[in-house]
Structure formats: structure tokens, C-alpha cells
Amino acid sequence: MARSPRPAPPVPKVARPADEEPSPRRNSPDASHGSPHGPSRVRRAMGWFFTPHRLLMLGLIPLCAALVPFTAKHLPDLSSRDEYRLTADRVRLEPPPPIVVPTNLVPTVLGEEPVSVLEDGLAGRLADGFAKHPWVAGVERVEVLSPAAAVVELRYRTPIAAVAAGDGLYPIDAAGVLLPPSDFTRPAADALPRIAGIESTPGPAGTVWPDPAVTGAAAVCAALASDWPRLDLAAVRPLDASAGRFWERVRQTPVADDDQEVGDPRFELVTRAGSRILWGRPPGTSHPGALATDTKRLRLTRDLAGVLAGERTRGPEWADLTAWDGVYHLPLRAAMREPTPRR
């Protein structure tokens, strides 16, 4: 009689420690993205972001944005306080203006009413205002300070001559820029070197006189500024047709035939005693045959100084500074008679 097989003994169950978690199933979401070393990166990022204090900070952002206009509206207006209001007496000019510059320079630019140093673009506005003033040649620096103050560094124009045009005298600087005539008394304008023989009219104060005869004469006056009183000079004037014929007749050479080709007029100096001195083309000319300004100035102050010193007793002189081989001069009354002037 056959025996039935004996049943297999049961497999004993192994107890799992309490802190051990069951391994994730193969088809669970965490199994495909998880890591044997901890939770996934997404879960860690979400855990870092979604914390109470970070969510609170995130919620405060729109609240702060809504409060900014309200807060700004209820802040005190500092621009009305004295320590922020800039007045003319709190603007320091460096260097201080020369005595010829009017004392109302700063009030003219700043205006009568105080301005706030908190105003946007105040430094630029002040720089533009000073640059447009007729007495200002350039603005080097503008610094706005607090409490209310400002430092402005300027370059000033210097009157170099007065142009006699019509019935008036018009002061100009070395570049031919017109200075305000109302800022000069008649004696002050008379004391400046004179530019005569001008038929053109100027533009507004602070602009260059639109005439090469004026700008050229201004350059001559600037070159002789320190010698003008000592040489007893009265005026500088461009050669007109009559003066051109005079010099051609005395020098026996053309004077003005090539002026139009270059565009630089020629000039003559006149002393108070009546002497006439041919200066020629102005400083800075591009004409290749013109002598250097320093050469003509040296001839005038060294070679002719003794001659001009006696003109009041011997009479006025005629002199030519433009010849390459030296200075020619004659008594003016003899210049029209003698064909060749002596040196």
C-alpha cells in the first residue's frame, strides 16, 4: 500500500525591525524617482520652499508694494525745509568773479526763488544756466551739497577791446564774443583798446560777432594787451579800400590783392599821436607768407619803441612790420613823397 507524501514544513516568518520601512513597490511613483540616499530633489525643494516663514515673506511682497504710494504720500516734504533750499548766497563760485563781472551773476542764473537741492537734475540745470551767461566762457564743475549749498567752478570772459560801431561802444573778449554793453560805464568802455572801421552789427550778448574783421582785430588786441598802454596805441582797424591804396602807394607793392583768396583781412595800428603801423594779418592766420605774431610784436616793442617815443615831438610815423627783411619806417609826412622808405 503506497504511502502519501509528507507535507512540507511551513517557512518561518522573519520579524522585521520596527524602524524599517517596507521597500517601495516596483510600480509606485516614488520608486522611479526616488534615491536610495533619501527623498527626491523635487520633494526636497518643495519642503524647503513651503515653510511658514517663507510663505509669510512671499505674502508680504504685494502688501509692501501697495503701501509704498500711501507711505510716500504721507511723508514730510523735505524740499520746503530751509536746510534743503538753495539760495544765491549759498552758491560759491570758484574762482571768485573778476571785478568786471557783475555781482548779480548767480541770481541771474539761479532765479529769485530758492530751489531744492533734492530736485532731480539740479546740477545739470545749474551748469546749463551758467554756460549760457554772456560772462561765462565755460563751466568746469558743479557740485550740489547738503545742507543746501553748491560749488560752481567757472572760466570767465575778459574784455579785451571795445568795437566802435555806429554811435556805441561794444565790449568783446579775445574770441570776439560780445559782452553785455549795459554792464560797462562809458569811461570803462573808453579805457579798453579800440577797434575802429567796423561797419557790421553784432548779435546778442554772449555770441561771436559775425565779422572776421572784428574777430581778427580782437586777436590783435589780445596779442598786444600788455603793450597797449606803453606804446600809446589808440586803435586797430582793418584795411579798407582807402587804407589799402595808401599802403600800396607807400610800400610800392600790392597789399590787398590776395586777401580775398585767404579770407583774412589785414590790419593797421594807430597811435594817439597819429602814427600808422602796418600789422598785417591777424594771429592764427593760415597765410603762408605772414610773419609770426611774436616776431611782429618783438619788432614793435623793441625796434620801434624808440621811434614811437619821439612821435609827439617829431610828428607821427609810418612803419611796416610785415616785411621779411626787417622793419621799415618813415615820418608820415615824408612817406607819401619818398619812393623807398628807410629801415
What is the pLDDT of the chain when averaged over all its residues?
79
State yes or no: pLDDT of 260 exceeds 50: no
CA of 156: how far to CAs of 11, 101, 126, 127, 140, in Å? 111, 8, 16, 14, 11
Number of Cα atoms under 13 Å in the Cβ half of residue 246: 17
CB atoms within 10 A of CB 8: 6
pLDDT bin (cut points 50, 70, 90) of residue 29 is very low
Report which DSSP code applies to 192.
S
pLDDT bin (cut points 50, 70, 90) of residue 315 is confident
Of how many residues is the chain composed?
Answer: 343
Q: How far apart are CA 176 and CA 238, in angstroms?
A: 15
| 341, three cell numbers | 622808405
Percent of the chain with pLDDT over 70: 68
Element (H, E) at 70: helix 52-74
At 191 the pLDDT is: 94
Q: How far apart are CA 214 and CA 114, in angstroms?
A: 40
pLDDT bin (cut points 50, 70, 90) of residue 137 is very high
At 257 the pLDDT is: 45
Q: How far apart are CA 57 and CA 272, in angstroms?
A: 89
Using only C-alpha atoms, what is the Rg of the chain? 45
State yes or no: pLDDT of 341 exceeds 60: no
For residue 106, count CB atoms less than 10 angstroms from its CB and return exposed for 0-12, middle for 13-18, buried for 19 or more: buried
| 251, three cell numbers | 610800400
At 288 the pLDDT is: 82
State yes or no: pLDDT of 78 exceeds 90: no
CA neighbor of 237 nearest in space, from 265, 201, 257: 265
- Cβ within 8 Å of residue 147, ≥6 positions away: 83, 84
pLDDT bin (cut points 50, 70, 90) of residue 325 is confident
- Whole-model pTM: value is 0.70
**Bridge partner residues of 149 (DSSP):** 145
Between 117 and 90, the more confident residue is 90
CA neighbor of 257 nearest in space, from 243, 244, 276, 238: 244
Average pLDDT over residues 76-103: 81
At 296 the pLDDT is: 94
Q: Listing from the earlier edge strand, what are the strands of the sheet with 149-156?
A: 91-94, 149-156, 136-145
| 265, three cell numbers | 583781412
Residues 152, 142 contacting (CB under 8 angstroms): yes
State yes or no: pLDDT of 82 exceeds 80: no
